[in-house]
Chains A and B, each alone.
Chain A
Amino acid sequence: MFGRFAALVALVLLGDAAITGAPQAPSSETSATRQGSAPRSPRNASYAITARLDPGSRTITGDEILTWRNTSNTTASTLRFHLYYNAWRNSDSTWLRELALTGRPADEPQGSDWGWIDVTTIRIIGADSAAGDLTTRMRFIAPDDGNAADRTVMEVPLDRAVGPGETVNVQIAWSARVPRPFARTGAIDSFYFLGQWFPKIGVLENSGWNCHQFHATTEFFADFGTYDVRLTVPRGWIVGATGTERDRRDEADGTTTHHYSEEDVHDFAWTTSPDFVERRARFEHSTLPPVEIRLLLQPEHTGQADRHFEAARAALKYYGEWFGPYPYGHLTIVDPAWQSNADGMEYPTLITAGTAWLMPGHTEDPEDVTVHEAGHQFWYGIVATNEFEDAWMDEGINTFASARVMQERFAPTYMIRWYFGGFVPWVFRDFPRIRELDGDRLTTYRTGAKGDAPSTPSWRYWPGTSGSITYDKTALWMHTLERMLGWETLQRILSTYFSRFAFKHPKPKDFFDVANEVSGQDLTWFFDQVYRSSNVFDYGVDALQSEVERFEGFGDKQASGAPHVELRQAQYRTRVVVRRFGEGIFPVDIRVVFENKEETRWHWDGKDRWQMFEIDKPVRAAHAEVDPEHVLLLDVRSTNNSMTLTPQSGRAARKWSLAWLIWLQDQLLTYGFFV
């Protein structure tokens, strides 16, 4: 009720807004609303924004009207806003303090790189002017780490609290300096990619505000809404943004205002540059809705347009078939400028890919990054989890899913290395990329496997190893789950979870509940291991013996006289000792293969530190393996998973050390230049 009233008052008060260029209050059904269709999301945080970019001073001046409805059961006596650009205001920000812990000081701002955002006025629309103006009450808070110097969260006390179900309209004017790109937002030369660029309200939950400071290794969380945005840029500059362009107007001052809008999204990002080359394609499918794909390419990458389109189509097809349809009907892919640090980022209906000038075919990118970011439309865009706290729910699940798409659609791809300043590629066709190692990232998981338990709020992960936990560990345990349950079951789990929590903010428990329900199994033990602990898995074969059975001593019928030794030629006694070297517990199979190719299998619950298995057979064992199907992809050492009685390590070592010898000799002769 209050919401409708406020919106009405806002429209009266801002009756001349359209003329002056100020934004109008958005409603849940804007002029751009899909005709006759119901909202997909709660649309409780909607924005009408006007913004002007001045490339000369690299600043944005903006004005927004936020229509916010309290969907929690708690009363809001304050409003909290994210001011993400202040992460690069100075070196005291929490973001930069944390960045220093990642060991990437080269990424820190220098000279004119810094950026900021300042709210110039904030007022409640509909209240009388004195009570409505909240500008003097703004204050910065640091709910996560108490860093008084951090200005990424702003709080504003309200005169009149907003009760459950009530709506408030807030007008905010702000200005911002666009930084050199950090965290994939910013500007370099005339390339702008602008994400998290406007004052954005936090999420009010039943427990209170969920409005974290900006952290170096986590991303974002916001409520769904409609966005109606007018962006003024120099005339001739090409604009790409969340949503679709409704209209465009040339201004008298040599600028152009682009009007974009979108519904049922929880963020709005945009890009502009005079250099983009625009391409368009369409995704069509027999059972999925069509999608218009717009690609904004760097001029030097025009030859790679089809690769981007194919990757986007693959993501839309497989994610659509596996999880659910992509509902927006359009997707914009931005190919970011060289060294813009804007590659590989997702925003609703807008993603950045990333490639290189001399990128050869059958390599990781641009396909992998495009599939991954397009995949985020599903795991982040539609199923909108809290990236501050549960980053694994979008990044991890999406890493698993995009690796699966890459395997289905683009395999084989090969290892690539870049030489001479990182510009000249060489493809190593003897080294195909492997889903488990490269897609699920087992290799990088090893480096930070013990970093944190995934159940720890993501923003509290140790910055140096957060990626190993968020992306790699999740993708690996998801893939393990696929091998445990079968893809059909896992696919049903994911599609059920997707349909049940589309346009919502699910928590980890929601996912686990769906997994238990759909699989028909209580998987709590599994989630305890992989989610609620930082234990590392490492099973191995500790010993393998297979010898002719030897009897020594007194036989049953020979209790007196001298003990004797007897070789029972007919039988080989095979003993396998398997060991749990790590702390993680997972049930595993043990397989022994005999010289006549026969097999014997045992199942072990994997709980004790070791277990011996024994069998008598007329043939000698050839080798033994623990977890022979490699179900447990989180096993950090798979070399010790097997043992053979005819080792080939000498042969392998000779081959590879001789290959290395040539490299060393070439190295000597290269440095022979000096003598």
Chain B
Amino acid sequence: MSPAAAFREGLRRVNGAPALLAGTFAVTVMVSLPLAYALHGMIAAHLDASLAADAAASGTNPEWWREFLAQATGLGATFVPSITGFGAVLNNLTGFLDHTRPAATIIGVTAAWMVLWTFLTGGVLDRLARARRTRSQGFFAACGMHFWRLLRLGLFALIAYAILFGYVHGWIFDEAYGALTRNVTAGRTAFAIRLAGYAIFGTILLLCNVILDYARIRMIVEDRRSAMGALVAGGRFVGRRTTMVLGVYALNALAFLVLIILYAVVAPGAPRSGFTMWLALGLGELYILGRHYLKLLFYASQTALFQGALAHAAYTAAPVPVWPDSPAAEMIGNADSTESL
């Protein structure tokens, strides 16, 4: 299967799983809503009965905003003007690439979301690998069955990414970049050096990421229980089919880039009031939905490639969830065995 074919197959599989898209989107909304509600309370309390609220409700009110920020801590301190419109995307991307530490509250909710996503990954990959409906029972059975395995794999991922961001990133962007640009007097030269740094770091990050992706896929598709085994198998797959793997990755990255550019063009900036406010929210949520779609597409196309490459395209084995007996049944069983003794 060529990368393009895998990508097309991924599109087909994601398009055929709208509930998956809706479900994952709903999870993200549900995780983030409580924090938004908390921020709502902070803003409302600060504005109180002030006329400043009128200006803030109908447009932007920079004076109030900065006053709010001057006293804000924790969650409130993340409410900065640059989170509006496309600034939100740039803030997050640059924060990720430049390894800017988010606020503690944000780290907490992000960690919770990642654990939740890890739980869902088993069901998501299972659904996408089967390319057929698994119903909620089958979906959550797969989630439960694979969760602890994925969590163990997540520990390996955590170690790998911790090394990458804790040491390699610092080495490239603090030490090497600092040394290389120490006597540079042109901004564009320094930027070129930084871009090279991004390229080097991005390549290492990509390799790490792609091995972990295929480890997850093999864990689910091949019902592997060993995280280490899946990791080795994932690495083996990437090593033997590097071009194909990178091709699929590149197509997905391109799709991501297209989405980002589209959003940069249509992102409405700071919301106004009434219809335009809801339009801004709608466009923003549409973009978030698009991000979910692309995340699923990433999984689906990589899974399709793996299945195509290892002749697992017809992988249709039904999940065989093994449920423990009910406590009552277990007691009866125990009683029977006692009697026989």
Contact = CB atoms under 8 A, between A and B. Distances in A.
Interface of A: 188-191, 275, 298-300, 337-340, 356-358, 415, 417, 419-421, 423-424, 426, 428-431, 434, 436-437, 442-443, 446-447, 544, 623, 625, 637-645, 647-675
Given A423-B190, A642-B51, A670-B96, A664 B185 contact: no
A625 B66 CA distance: 20
B114 A671 contact: yes
B291 interface: yes
B155 interface: no
A652 B47 contact: yes
Contacts of A645: 49
B102 A191 contact: no
Chain A to chain B: the 6 pairs with minimum beta-carbon distance, closest first: A337-B185, A662-B284, A430-B270, A649-B47, A663-B88, A642-B51
A671 B113 CA distance: 9
Nearest to B59: A430
Given A429-B269, A666-B288, A420 B187 contact: no
Contacts of B341: none
B32 A437 contact: no
B220 to A, nearest CB: 14
B339 interface: no
Given A644-B50, A662-B88, A671 B43 contact: no
Given A647-B47, A659-B280, 18 more contacts: A188-B185, A338-B187, A339-B184, A419-B93, A428-B269, A430-B270, A431-B62, A447-B70, A623-B51, A648-B53, A652-B57, A656-B56, A658-B271, A660-B39, A664-B35, A666-B287, A667-B110, A674-B114
B121 to A, nearest CB: 7
Given A640-B50, A653-B43, A668-B113, A426 B86 contact: yes
Grouping DSSP codes into helix (H, G, I), strand (E, B) and loop, the B interface class, with mixed when no group exceeds half, is: helix
Contact of B87 (A338, A417, A446, A648): A417
Interface stretch (B77-85, B138-146, B238-246, B301-309): B77-85
A674 B98 contact: no
A636 B268 CA distance: 31
Contacts of A446: 66-67, 70
A649 B181 CA distance: 48
A420 B97 CA distance: 7
B118 interface: yes
Nearest to B194: A421
Contacts of B191: 357, 421, 423
Contacts of B271: 655-656, 658-659
Contacts of B287: 662, 666
Interface string B242-272: 0000000000000000000000000001110
Interface in B168-185: 173, 177, 181, 183-185
Given A443-B70, A642-B50, A663 B187 contact: no
B81 A428 contact: yes
Contacts of B89: 666
Contact of B291 (A623, A663, A666): A666
Nearest to B161: A674
16 contacts: A298-B186, A357-B187, A417-B91, A420-B98, A428-B269, A639-B47, A644-B49, A653-B41, A655-B271, A656-B271, A659-B284, A660-B79, A663-B92, A664-B109, A666-B287, A670-B96
A298 B187 CA distance: 10
Contacts of A658: 36, 271, 277, 281
* Most chain B C-beta atoms within 10 Å of own C-beta, residue among A337, A654, A660: A660
Interface of B: 28-29, 31-33, 35-37, 39-41, 43-54, 56-57, 60-64, 66-68, 70, 78-79, 81-98, 102, 106, 109-110, 113-114, 117-118, 121, 154, 157, 161, 173, 177, 181, 183-188, 190-191, 194, 198, 209, 269-271, 273, 277, 280-281, 284-285, 287-288, 291-292, 295
B44 A644 contact: no
A672 B114 contact: yes
Given A660-B83, A668-B31, A671-B110, A647 B90 contact: no
Contacts of A188: 183, 185
A621 to B, nearest CB: 12
Contacts of B82: 415, 417, 426, 428
A669 B291 contact: yes
Contacts of A436: 63
B52 A642 contact: yes
A337 B43 CA distance: 42
Given A667-B110, A670-B96, A443 B90 contact: no
Contacts of A275: 185
Contacts of A640: 48, 50
A656 B43 contact: yes
Given A337-B185, A644-B54, A659 B43 contact: no
B51 A644 contact: yes
Contacts of A430: 60, 81, 84-85, 269-270
Contacts of B109: 664, 668
B106 A664 contact: yes
A421 B50 contact: no
B39 A421 contact: no
A657 B50 CA distance: 18
A438 to B, nearest CB: 9
B44 A650 contact: yes
A101 to B, nearest CB: 22
Given A339-B190, A664-B35, A665-B28, A639 B62 contact: no
Contacts of A648: 47, 53-54, 56-57
A590 to B, nearest CB: 14
A429 B270 CA distance: 9
